[in-house]
Chain A
Amino acid sequence: MCILRTSTRTLLTPILLGIFAITSAAAGAGGITGKVTLEGQLLKAKTINMSSEPGCAKLYSTPPTTEDVVVGPGGGLKNVVVYVSAGAPKQTGPAAQPVSVTQKGCRFAPHVVAMQVNQEVRVINEDATTHNIHPLPTINREWNKAQPPGTPPLQETFAREEFISVKCNIHSWMHSYFVVLKTPYYFVSNENGAFTLERLPPGKYTLTNCVARGLWQTVSRSDHLRRRDAGG
């Protein structure tokens, strides 16, 4: 289930964006690969005005743009979290390693970070300015921590499955999403919209995808892809 904190304004925008879907999903040896594409009219990314933070603005030769909708060749949609929402085997093996998100050039990289429940997330500040990391969950704990330049990474965990919007209040354009999932089988689509779910044994799985801002209403039209995996 995707849980998204969003505003009324963004709920109204999906019509402009067209429909996205997992257009292909192939069962490979021990995994599923596929591609998420966006069909229809595209919403153009907006230019970010970083003039209030010259130290970050000067890092870009061309003005940076928002990353809510990043469409690659062939309509491939970046930053979509594809995960096994039903049918996945119970997790075995060692605990997941920490995931990292870096603030660089006054942006969060990556823009969408997927992690497991209680998996450690490390937030790093590589900028020469203070950021504040402010997740806005509804069922996890809300916290807000300053991270001046040169200070160690923040280390945090989230206890419940949730799609969490993350802000830096000091720089209003800085936005990220922490997607906290129970399953270890997830992938954030790359710039071509491609995803790979590895180490899945043969079986029948339900895949769900989550996308940030505006597109989430269309999730309900195409969010479940039932597939009998004959491979493996």
Chain B
Amino acid sequence: MKTKISLGAVFLVVTALASPGFAQNAQIGKLRGSAPVGKVLYRRYCVGCHGPQGDGNGENAAWIDPKPRDFTAAVFKCRSTPTGTLPTDQDLFDAITRGFVTTNMPPWKPLTNPNRADLVAYVKTFSARWEKERPGAAITIPPEPAVTIAGILHGRELFQKNDCWKCHGPQGHGDGPSAPTLTDSKDNPIRPYDFATGSRFKCGVSNQDLYRMFMTGLDGTPMPSYADTMQPADAWDLVHFLRTLQPFHTQEAATWRAWLPSHWEEIKAVGPDGGSGASQ
């Protein structure tokens, strides 16, 4: 029996070396994820939604909205890398750890860090893209400037000028004129984020996460990348304005609310008459 186990272990190692998955082991800091180990975990925890083939067609998928991620397409929402590129292992690790708020994907913090690293390695075996391409280079995020009313006002102008409101709504309630028509890349209806709900963002909670989300875009969804057209200083101003749309006691919200009562007549409402774009 002992010999059999040893042979089995050797076979497992040889299989791992020969399979494409071996080349796609995950590296998260000092953690090294193993696809064969991840497969066992995947088939216990993930297969019900994401399916045995990783295509998002698990047995629960029919009752889930938004649909589970299709790993065979290798298109991921939460990335530190430019639109159209593969995410880093750390990005996938963070997504598994964080889960996706307002969806059926829970945070997988109950699993150990090595386990989540193993899952990252296995998720990468579902698409040949991981064999042919390297992850994109993470975008650079400059240090966050101080929150100022001038910055918030400029961010508000950018919210208008870049037509963010057409999906997210003039007040950030997710009710812009384009909102009802939005579909994801698989033609399933999808809703833009409603800042007023107070729910977390899908890809993290910090200001840096928010910066990263609209600069890289959420691939597979209608949310595009603004990295090609928005300067870093402008992006930080937009971050600070977006925070004022949330019902939180943030520094941005406090600055805005302290300024607004004595100046509300000076600003134009965001929206069709907000003074930008084709609607002028």
Contact = CB atoms under 8 A, between A and B. Distances in A.
Given A52-B177, A170-B166, A142 B185 contact: yes
A145 B163 contact: no
Contacts of B162: 130, 146, 148
Contacts of B166: 52, 130, 170
B228 interface: yes
Nearest to A144: B224
Interface of B: 73, 75, 83-85, 161-163, 166-167, 177-178, 181-183, 185, 187, 217, 219-226, 228-229, 272, 277-280
B278 A145 contact: no
18 contacts: A129-B163, A129-B278, A130-B161, A130-B277, A142-B219, A143-B217, A144-B84, A144-B219, A144-B222, A144-B224, A146-B225, A146-B228, A169-B167, A170-B163, A170-B166, A170-B178, A172-B178, A172-B181
Contacts of B229: 146-148, 151
Given A134-B224, A148-B162, A148-B229, A142 B277 contact: no
A54 B272 contact: yes
A80 B69 CA distance: 34
A128 B276 CA distance: 8
Contacts of B177: 52
Given A53-B279, A129-B278, 6 more contacts: A7-B187, A144-B84, A144-B224, A146-B224, A146-B228, A169-B224
Given A141-B85, A143-B219, A172-B181, A55 B224 contact: no
Chain B interface main SS type: loop
Interface residues of A, number: 31
Contacts of B181: 172
Given A141-B85, A146-B229, A170-B166, A56 B278 contact: yes
B163 A142 contact: no
A170 B85 CA distance: 22
Nearest to B180: A172
A107 to B, nearest CB: 13
Contact of B220 (A128, A142, A147): A142
A129 B279 contact: yes
A25 interface: no
